[in-house]
Amino acid sequence: MPRRCPTWRRNATKLGATLWASKAASMSSENWAYVADASGRGAYGQSGSILIPAPLAAEVLDRGVELAAAIDAYAGGHGIRDAQGAWGVLTRNLITRQDAFRIAVINAFAPFFNASLYRDA
């Protein structure tokens, strides 16, 4: 059963992202969005999930380094979180951090723009 990594609360609050870790020291990242209308009706959306390489996961899980600092060191860059993100580094920019959040936001809006399929029976 996966467990949330030690920095998940900070990441979820700042980024809308969640990091999951398993007992085998593997870790994945996923992005979340929440939207609500004026009446208070809301929905969550999620991006896909990407596996974090073992050496990078070890930095975060075993040494307590935040993913932003760890990905900078791992990829030899600076400010990756605010640019393409870990998603961009790990997918060679086929999917960037912005793309992952875009998918999460679209998924969150689905019950609103496709309401007939989401109505209660």
Q: pLDDT by residue (tens digit) across 26-43?
A: 688 899 999 999 999 999
Where in the sequence is the domain holding 63, given as residue range(s)? Answer: 3-35+44-112
The amino acid occupying position 83 is A
If one counts the domains in the chain, the total is 1
Which pTM value belongs to this model? 0.72
Residue 27 falls inside a structural domain = yes
Q: In what order do the strands lie in the sheet with 42-52?
A: 3-4, 17-21, 27-36, 42-52
Residue 118 falls inside a structural domain = no
Residue 64 falls inside a structural domain = yes
Per cent of the chain over pLDDT 70 is 78
The residue ranges of the chain whose pLDDT is under 50 are 1-15, 21-24, 121
CATH number at residue 20: 3.90.950.10
If you ran DSSP here, which 8-state letter would residue 5 be given?
Answer: -
Q: Say how far apart CA 65 and CA 32 lie, in whole Å.
A: 22
The pLDDT of residue 111 is: 95
